[in-house]
Structure 1
Amino acid sequence: MARLLVIVDIQNDYFPGGAYPLVGTEAAADRASALLAYFRESGEPVVHVQHVWDAPDATFMRPGTHGVEINDAVAPLADEPVVLKGSPNSFLGTDLEQRVRDAAVDDVVIVGMMTSMCVDSTVRAAADLGFAVTVASDACAAPDLEFGGTVIPGDVVHAAFLAALGDGFATVTTVGELIQHAHAEA
């Protein structure tokens, strides 16, 4: 099975000390790094997605800042494409769809930040475009959110969004299971 890995917004602003830290970013980045290494070793294509919030009122992912940079754990190699985006959906206003179609893959594997925003939007868009999608759950992270005066912890937000994505939009699995499954097919 031919696959393509899309790494969504694993950028410094989401890590401790960044402008918008999420819950579990370091663990998620470690798992994404392991999956990235596996894809590189197997020669499967990789596309990095970088969110740039180029607006006067931007509070994070601002151009020219350390926070907007892709984290070292998943830093792209010189020959790996980086798709710049300005909205949660990685396909909107970018060439990501064409890159996926040109790669002629059977499955789009998605990891990244934020499970509740950019990962969710990208997975749903990929499914709407007709792609088979897999999400590596342990290579994603979400923020604490608030609704109606109630704080929803980031791990609960993460689980809720993954449950929704797994209910019709994507196969939700772990990095270990993805790698194990790929070895079994080889």
Structure 2
Amino acid sequence: MENTALILIDLQNDYFGSFEGAKWQLNETEKAASNALKILTKFREKNMKIVHVRHEFAIENPPFFAPNSQGAKIHDTLTPKENESQILKHNVNAFKDTNLKEILDDSNITNVIIVGAMSYMCIDAVTRAASDFGYKCFVAHDACTTSDVEFNSIKVEAAIAHAAFMAALQFAYAKVETTNEILELL
């Protein structure tokens, strides 16, 4: 796929159970990161556009991703290289108040592959925004992760929350594929 960028969203230490002191562990983050790494490796081999997005809360006493903390750093397995774009965001949507769209447009990107966390927050937001901006979106669902969620006393396990959001994205915003299917497209 020509004119394609990989967008890695919030694969930061605080989400990893293997990171000592993680403040917001998600479901199977290591598995999702391993799949994201497979796609990242292919992008590096093909010298394709890569954008790493990292979140820091711009509030006092954040629950996780505190500015300049070890927990807010991108996990070591996915450390950006010097020639790869990096974006710091303070909102759920990686396009809001960042130069993400400018980076993509400057590289004539028409397709985006999205991986990372959390499925029902930042992955959902960036995918819908990218689609609204006219990019053809692909989400590697097994390279994304989330947590359990609760609303109105209804508890939803992470796997169910993830599936619900992937189904919604697939319905109208993106092609939702496995890592292997994404790799075959490349």
Aligned counterpart, 1:79:
83
Aligned counterpart, 2:116:
112
Matches within 5 A, 1:138-153: 138-153=142-157
Partners of 2:36 and 2:49 in 1: how far apart?
A: 14
Deviation at 1:54, TM superposition (A): 2.2
State the secondary structure of the residue aligned to 2:131. Answer: helix
Aligned counterpart, 1:177:
181
Aligned counterpart, 1:10:
11
Deviation at 1:102, TM superposition (A): 1.1
Aligned counterpart, 1:63:
67
Give me the TM-score of the superposition, normalised by structure 1: 0.95
2:180 paired with 1:163: no
2:45 paired with 1:41: yes
State the secondary structure of the residue aligned to 2:82. Answer: coil
State the secondary structure of the residue aligned to 2:185. Answer: helix
Partners of 2:126 and 2:61 in 1: how far apart?
A: 24
Equivalent AA in structure 2 for residue 60 of structure 1: F
Partners of 1:51 and 1:66 in 2: how far apart?
A: 12
Residue of structure 1 aligned with 2:32, choices 16, 28, 51? 28
Identity %: 38
The answer for unaligned runs of 5 or more in structure 1 is none
Deviation at 1:35, TM superposition (A): 0.5
Please list the CA deviations of residues 123-160 of structure 1 after superposition, one character each: whole Å capped at 9, or x if unmatched. Answer: 01101111111101110001100112221110111110
Equivalent AA in structure 2 for residue 35 of structure 1: I
Partners of 1:168 and 1:111 in 2: how far apart?
A: 18
Structure 1 runs (4+) deviating above 4 angstroms are none
Alignment length (residue pairs): 182
Equivalent AA in structure 1 for residue 15 of structure 2: Y
Please list the CA deviations of residues 26-48 of structure 1 after superposition, one character each: whole Å capped at 9, or x if unmatched. Answer: 10000001110000001111000
Residue of structure 2 aligned with 1:124, choices 128, 137, 153? 128
Partners of 1:100 and 1:6 in 2: how far apart?
A: 10
Equivalent AA in structure 1 for residue 6 of structure 2: L
Partners of 1:122 and 1:112 in 2: how far apart?
A: 11
Equivalent AA in structure 2 for residue 5 of structure 1: L
State the secondary structure of the residue aligned to 1:167. Answer: helix
Residue of structure 2 aligned with 1:103, choices 96, 102, 107? 107
